[in-house]
Amino acid sequence: MLRKIEGTVRAYRAIDVRNVQFEIQGSNNIIDLNLEQPWVLKNGDYVVVAGEDEGRSGKFTGYAYRNDTKEIFGKSDPGLLEGYRYILMGLLFFWAIFPVFIHIPAGLRRLEFGRKIDQAASMLWSTNG
């Protein structure tokens, strides 16, 4: 289930230019954010992150974020084109059993993940004043 976490960045660790892990004051979650564009945040920035809890690791996976201090918005790559490609490949090669059972379900999962990212982004836009 998607939810929002907001607050001031307490600490962060850069994984690479598109992936960062950080903590927000008052929250016990480690937030893992993987974006399609480079992230922009530092200690003391006020951010709002939309995403969901990752059950096994205890992390919060962020799909979209808004840095209110710097007035920046970013989101993960929804990968909708990949999802459509997998479904198309499964349909084009319907005569072979393998693509139908592998490609179409994989494409549908990718499309659902893309919708989840778009929903997380819209959660942040609707509260942007």
CA distance 82 to 74: 20
Counting the structural domains of the chain, the total is: 1
Instruction: Inform me whether the pLDDT recorded for 121 exceeds 50.
Output: yes
**Coil, strand or helix at 24:** strand
The answer as to whether 64 is a domain residue is: yes
The answer as to whether 71 is a domain residue is: yes
Give the pLDDT of residue 11.
Answer: 94
The answer as to whether 91 is a domain residue is: no
**Range(s) of the domain holding residue 59:** 3-76
The answer as to whether 124 is a domain residue is: no
The answer as to whether 116 is a domain residue is: no
CA distance 44 to 97: 54
Instruction: Inform me whether the pLDDT recorded for 126 exceeds 70.
Output: no
Global pTM? 0.75
CATH number, residue 18: 2.40.50.140
The pairing of beta strand 30-34 with beta strand 60-67: parallel
List, for residues 8-65, the tens digit of each pLDDT value: 999 999 999 999 999 999 888 899 999 989 999 999 999 999 999 987 777 999 999 9
Contact 48, 32 (CB under 8 A): no
